Amino acid sequence: MSTPNIDRLKVKIFADGADLGAIRQAAANPLIKGFTTNPTLMRAAGVSDYRGFAFEALQVIKDRPISFEVFADDFASMQEQALEIASWGDNVYVKIPVTNTKGEFAGPLIASLSRSGVKLNVTAVTTLEQVSRIGDSLAESAPAVVSVFAGRIADTGRDPVPHMAEALRLLRKRPKAELLWASPREVLNIFQADAIGCHIITVTNDHLKKLALVGKDLDAYSLETVAMFYKDATSAGYDIPLPAKRAAS
């Protein structure tokens, strides 16, 4: 079994979250090449002022891309929100969901914004048909990110690796469009994404903490696990009373 090495990775790691403390910590890590968030993460982090949060984050993130998402459900309002969000900074990417809640494809909106120079992050993508249609909608000259939710695909029992490899192939017609492996479930996904040539992977704070384990000696990890079980059992005061005869023997 080969030993993985963070220093050899070509895939860009983007920190995913909405906790400003964690964002500041990630910003100090040169391994982190960008940042993403979404309304669900923001709500979970207790954010009540969308614009206020964004501007605080942008005070920290000035030299790397950061994505903020529209939250309207009709395409006209999405466009207005997208143009406003795009005006917040040159490093801002605007997240546009691949469809609205009615399942209507956002292609015309993606095309309009992309051709006007807005940097897009098309999100909540799962199918290869969606990837292909997004690629057809993007302007060739505009930077863009296509976020395919590989973790959610894996949750359905499907192997995301060949799926993501095919998504990468479909996006070759748009050389300025980067494929993002979204919703990873474990650190291994970083190395899977790297192996197929995926451009970006988002990593939550919980998984960022696990990067210190990459390449760890497995014998040492085994011994630490045994010690943990022993410590927890003794700390809890567990006891298994034995029959007198067995105890005497």
* Residue range 149-182, pLDDT digits in tens: 999 999 999 999 999 999 999 999 999 999 999 9
What's the whole-number average pLDDT of the chain? 96
215: left (phi over 0), alpha (psi -120 to 50) or beta: left
Sign of the C-alpha dihedral computed for residues 103, 17, 70 and 114 taken in this order: negative
Core vs surface per residue 210-219: b (16+ CB within 10 A) or e: eeeebeeeee
Residues 13-22, mean pLDDT to the nearest whole number: 97
Structural domains present in the chain: 8-215 (3.20.20.70)
Average of pLDDT values for 35-51?
97
Nearest to 203 by CA among 3, 21, 26: 26
| pLDDT computed for residue 247 by the predictor | 56
Residues 6+ apart with CB under 8 A from 106: 75, 78, 96, 97, 98, 99, 100, 122
Question: Radius of gyration over alpha carbons of the chain, in Å?
Answer: 22
Q: Which two tokens stand for residue 169?
A: 């192939």
What mean pLDDT is predicted for residues 73-100? 98
User: What pLDDT, in 10s, does the model give residues 200-233?
Assistant: 999 998 999 999 999 999 999 999 999 999 999 9
Supply the pLDDT for residue 220: 97
CA-nearest of 141, 182, 145 to 65 is 145
Mean pLDDT confidence for 21-40: 96
Does residue 249 have a pLDDT over 70? no
